[in-house]
Structure 1
Amino acid sequence: MWNDRFAGEAFVYGTAPAAFLTREAGRLPAGARVLSVAEGEGRNAVWLAGQGCAVTAVEGAPNAVAKARRLAAARGVTVDFRLCDLRDWPWEADAHDAAIGIFIQFGPRDVQDRMMAGMKRTVRPGGLVLLHGFAPRQVGYGTGGPPHAEWMYTEALLRDRFADFEIRALRDYDAEIDEGTGHRGRAALVDLVARRPAG
């Protein structure tokens, strides 16, 4: 399904980074080692590389990775793109300064829980997990995302899943988004920035 969605020449979600990422990137240390999960067509990983981060971007759709590599080349940056089904991703422990997941709510709760656990595992002590996705009311807006309210984030869900981390930011809000043809219009959004304790 995802490979078909990314088959055309156009960037389904645009080439600009998510506003959440540009707003929160100042929390990352200079030269941060960042893992971008389910990166898609490269817009966020390429932007992070342009800010001086060392980015590994994992994505399961070959068409998306091909477009992401073209975008990186056009912007003159280097990203370590990995074509891999996320169910097979090893989640190396303590390997990154940050793990980022932007609109990755493409599976049921147990799938998402395994992914969150992997993101928590792969950041070093003191490292950050940044999540940006949709709240349940997004289903009624029809401006992007899966049609399953139970796949969406709530503040209570993320507070529970990251109870062993320090929550630096957690918000539920509405905003107008314009991210290619895939996300356009009023959206119900949830942001999380959580820090793994350093001790």
Structure 2
Amino acid sequence: MWDERFSGEGYFYGTEPARFVAAQAWRLAQGAQVLSVAEGEGRNAVRLAAQGLCIHALDGSAPALAKAQKLAAARGVSLSTEKADLARFIWPVAAYDAVFGVFIQFAPPALRSAIFRGMASALKPGGLLFLHGFSVRQLANASGGPKDAAQLWTLDLLRAAFPGWEIRHQADYDAVLAEGPGHSGKAALIDLVAVKPAR
């Protein structure tokens, strides 16, 4: 499905970053090591790389990663990309200053829990976790995302997945998306930025 979605000439979710990414990236210092999980066609990774961050982008779709590299070249930045099946991925330990998961809601609950554990593992102590996606309220909208409430988020769900983490930003809100044909129209969104405990 994803290879088919990403194999066209156009960018399914556009070439500009999610507003959450653009709004929150100030929290990261130049040169920070950043992992982007299920990055897709590169719109968020390219924006972060343009800020002087060192980006490693994971995705399960080779066509998506090829387009990410194409977008990076067009914008004059460099990315490291890796084709990865997140159901089998061996997560690194304490390797990154920040980890991003933006619209990663393809995952049913068991896989989501495994991905969240992996993201936590990959962060250095004191590192920043950035999550952005659709609220359960998104079921009322037609702007994208899964139609299964179990794959959508609440702030309670995210906070429970990272117990003891310091919350730097959290929000559950409505917005209008204009992110290519994939995300277009009124949307119910969730943001979370949290700090991995130092020990």
TM over 0.5: yes
- What's the CA shift string for 1:128-179, capped at 9, x where partnerless? 1100000111122011001111211101111111112111111100011100
Please tell me the residue identity of whatever aligns with 2:157.
L
Alignment partners' CA distance in 1, 2:109 and 2:196: 22
Matched, 1:189 2:189: yes
1:11-160, aligned counterparts within 5 Å? 11-160=11-160
Alignment partners' CA distance in 2, 1:30 and 1:54: 8
Alignment partners' CA distance in 2, 1:143 and 1:87: 27
For this pair of structures, how many residues does the alignment match? Answer: 199
1:144-183, aligned counterparts within 5 Å? 144-183=144-183
Q: CA deviation at 1:198?
A: 2.1
Q: CA deviation at 1:197?
A: 1.6
Please tell me the residue identity of whatever aligns with 2:159.
R
Q: After TM superposition, where is structure 1 displaced by more than 4 Å over at least 4 residues in a row?
A: none
Please tell me the residue identity of whatever aligns with 1:94.
A
Q: CA deviation at 1:91?
A: 1.3
TM-score (normalised: structure 1): 0.97
Alignment partners' CA distance in 1, 2:45 and 2:90: 19
Gaps of 5+ in 2: none
SS at match of 1:137: helix
Please tell me the residue identity of whatever aligns with 2:33.
R
RMSD of aligned residue pairs (Cα, Å)? 0.9
SS at match of 1:170: strand
Q: CA deviation at 1:90?
A: 1.7
Gaps of 5+ in 1: none
Please tell me the residue identity of whatever aligns with 1:171.
A
TM-score (normalised: structure 2): 0.97
Q: CA deviation at 1:195?
A: 0.2
- What's the CA shift string for 1:41-97, capped at 9, x where partnerless? 000111111100000000101110111111111111110011111122221111000
Alignment partners' CA distance in 2, 1:19 and 1:159: 21
Q: Percent identity at matched positions?
A: 51
